[in-house]
Structure 1
Amino acid sequence: MKYSIRQLEVFLAAANTENITRAAESLSMSQSAASSALKELEQQFDIQLFDRVGKRLQLNELGRLIRPQAEALLAQATELEVALRQHQQPGNLKVGATLTIGNYLAVSIMARYMAEQPGAKVMLDVENTATIARKVLNFELDLGLVEGELQQSELDVIPWRCDELVVFCSPDHPLAKRSQQPLSDQDLKEATWILRESGSGTRQTFDRIMSGILPELTVLLELQHTEGIKRAVEEGLGLGCLSRVALEDAFRRGSLVPLTMPHRNTERRFYFVLHKQKYRSAGVERWIEMCKENY
């Protein structure tokens, strides 16, 4: 075999950092050793994997082509090492989750996973749907848990569980007195709204729900965090629309009031997102199993 695992590690670290010095630091190597490993890999096959722009290394077309295969091979090699040491038990994971899932569902799954796999660690990255998709595409995450629908040819988007969005207001809002009566389109158009930002799965679903009247809605604030939206609505600044998962405690306490609009479909799904060319380790498979078991 003309290449080594170490050479592939250097290649992938350089692809991620776009700098050989930072790549070497991430692998606890000297800069000269990392440079030599990358140079030897290219010379052995008489190829060039990067365009060198000053000190920056930018993947060229060939580099981008072999990157997924190198990622998959390295992941398999890592899992083999773990299996030899830990009798095939799932290991560490890098999981991305959108805000609703990350704040209200993923933490309990993470706790159960680490309890089942002593010594295993889970890095949880909480971002919006667009950012999670980008990081999965860039091999920065092992898998993503998202609220929004995605159409990316390089991603596997697998349905997980059902969810629904709920419109809500403060107990002092005029519409709270009509909480048992369905909202009309006129009610929706006359309201002031506190919403998630564009790029989030929740906002994507909200825009679909409000199809036909969306341009007529008055949006006062766009916030990146569900708790900020809930607080703004509690203060009487307007109506909100979030996942029922994020609102159940507030509804039980009575600090927020659910409103109904049966003429509009508020259902949606949560999804697993994985790169089609990334090797699926035992840890990834076990995480998905736990998600399905818990919810």
Structure 2
Amino acid sequence: MEIHLRELRYFVAAAEELNVTRAAERLFVSQPALSKQLRALERQLGFTLFDRVPSGLALTRQGTALLPVARDLLARWDEGLDLVRQAAPSGTLVIGLQTAVGRGIQAEALRRFRERMPGWMVSLRVVGWEDPSAGLSDGSSDVAFVWLPAPEGVATRVLATERRFVAMPENHRLAAREEIDFAELRGEPFVALPETAGPLRDFWLGGPGTIIGAEAASPDGVFEAVLAGLGLVLLSEGNAELYRRPGLVARPVSGLSPARLALAWRAADRRPAVTAFVHSFG
């Protein structure tokens, strides 16, 4: 049996809120995705953690017994991870990212970081869109480049604000347009992020009610789905340049709020290396 930290965090949030909707908002995931994860955890454990009641959730005897254990395990993991990271004067700063950053954003900041933290290495880690925090929530990343909105408990600094574009096959009926109003795309299927991406999934679908033709958890998966005719995809103006593909065109979309690329870190993280990296962006 393998129980992951994320599943324990989901359980603790649901047990403390006793309401799936509030717990999902706190965790920054969709309500169906959280319910699915809780049921999966119950199947792995072999017993029921919650009774479903009219007011929401009620802990079973097993759930009540597990709650302090789960809290303790999560607290000990977080404390242990901090101790390990602080054990040496040098180390590795892990930077999570879900799409290419480009835009001339990283190079100068990395130079400043190395000046502030000599001896430190930087590791870039690609994280699938199943985790909208890009590794911050489970501690596998120290800082991250994310698209807003960001999960609860994450501090952010906006680095770029860009128009949203739509990518489509070059033979699409709207491909010749200079600009497309989002209202004209309402009947089109779109490629969606995984349900666990929560509000970020809705943002890149242009809001609720959009038809979903396929799901993908990485940029390569998204563009393969678009080329296969499974749906269109919204992306930022900068990423429209970074992810050019033969057979695809990208057009600006009116009627949508802009996309914001941000540097993110855990709000409670005061480690010198994290602070130095944040300050490297001015």
Q: TM-score under structure 1 normalisation?
A: 0.56
**In structure 2, distance between residues paired with 1:156 and 1:238:** 31
2:271 to 276, 280, 293: 280
Look up the SS of the partner of 1:246 in the other structure: helix
Look up the SS of the partner of 2:225 in the other structure: helix
The aligned amino acid for 2:195 is: S
- Percent of aligned positions with the same letter in both sequences? 18
CA change 1:137–1:267 in 2 (3 A) is closer
**In structure 2, distance between residues paired with 1:141 and 1:184:** 35
The aligned amino acid for 1:120 is: W
Runs of 4+ in 1 over 4 A off after TM superposition: 58-76, 101-119
**In structure 2, distance between residues paired with 1:220 and 1:265:** 23
Which consecutive residues of structure 2, in runs of 5 or more, have no partner in the other structure?
Answer: 6-67
Residues 144, 274 of structure 1: 8 Å contact kept: no
Look up the SS of the partner of 1:158 in the other structure: strand
**In structure 1, distance between residues paired with 2:263 and 2:155:** 6
Root-mean-square deviation over aligned CA pairs: 4.0
What's the offset of the Cα at 1:262?
Answer: 1.9
What's the offset of the Cα at 1:248?
Answer: 0.4
**In structure 1, distance between residues paired with 2:80 and 2:242:** 45
Residues 102, 126 of structure 1: 8 Å contact kept: no
Residues 130, 194 of structure 2: 8 Å contact kept: no
Deviates more, 1:167-176 or 1:196-205: 196-205
**Equivalent residue number for residue 93 of structure 1:** 93
Look up the SS of the partner of 1:219 in the other structure: strand
Residues 129, 217 of structure 2: 8 Å contact kept: no
What's the offset of the Cα at 1:107?
Answer: 7.6
**In structure 2, distance between residues paired with 1:60 and 1:235:** 43
Q: TM-score under structure 2 normalisation?
A: 0.58
Which consecutive residues of structure 1, in runs of 5 or more, have no partner in the other structure?
Answer: 1-15, 17-57, 83-89
The aligned amino acid for 2:233 is: G
Residues 168, 248 of structure 2: 8 Å contact kept: yes
**Equivalent residue number for residue 87 of structure 1:** none
What's the offset of the Cα at 1:119?
Answer: 5.4
Look up the SS of the partner of 2:180 in the other structure: coil
Per-residue CA distance 1:94-118 (angstroms, 9 max, x = gap): 2222x11568888857975797677
What's the offset of the Cα at 1:272?
Answer: 0.8
Residues 136, 143 of structure 1: 8 Å contact kept: yes
Per-residue CA distance 1:7-30 (angstroms, 9 max, x = gap): xxxxxxxxx8xxxxxxxxxxxxxx
Residues 75, 279 of structure 1: 8 Å contact kept: no
Work out whether 1:263 is the aligned partner of 2:279. Answer: no
Look up the SS of the partner of 2:262 in the other structure: strand
**Equivalent residue number for residue 59 of structure 2:** none
**Equivalent residue number for residue 120 of structure 2:** 120
Aligned residues: 214
**Equivalent residue number for residue 196 of structure 2:** 199
